[in-house]
Amino acid sequence: MNLDGGKTWDVERIKIGGELYSLNQIENEIIRPQFKDPRIHFALNCAAKSCPPLYDKAYLPSQLDQQLDERTRSFVNSTNNELSEKL
């Protein structure tokens, strides 16, 4: 929360094709619309308590469906997140 006033995900600092983008823009304006897969949230997130934990492996094209399913199931079934605390 000490970075960029807690808004580090909104700072446009990543250059792609000559344009600057924020992490939120890359996730929500580029990746999600292109792939149209809700499981993306379980792979790309800000690592907040309310988000799934960051994955410690590379996402591989040959295993992507399996990896996204595993990350989704892991978060939904976890008892260590804000979602489970509300249920």
85, part of any domain = no
What would the mean pLDDT of 75-80 be, rounded to a whole number?
A: 81
Question: What is the pLDDT, as a whole number, of residue 20?
Answer: 97
Give the up-direction half-sphere exposure of residue 32: CA atoms within 13 A in the CB hemisphere.
15
pLDDT per position as a tens digit, 6-65? 888 899 999 999 999 999 999 899 999 999 999 988 888 766 777 788 888 999 999 999
Measuring CA to CA, which residue among 31, 87, 78 is closest to residue 51? 78
Say if residue 22 is in the same domain as residue 44: no
45, part of any domain = yes
If one counts the domains in the chain, the total is 2
Say if residue 30 is in the same domain as residue 1: yes
CA–CA separation, 52 vs 42, rounded Å?
6
pLDDT at residue 87 is higher than 70: no
Say if residue 31 is in the same domain as residue 54: no
CA–CA separation, 25 vs 37, rounded Å?
16
Q: Which amino acid makes up residue 86?
A: K
pTM: 0.70
Say if residue 30 is in the same domain as residue 49: no
Range of the domain at 6: 1-36
Strand, helix or coil for residue 19:
strand
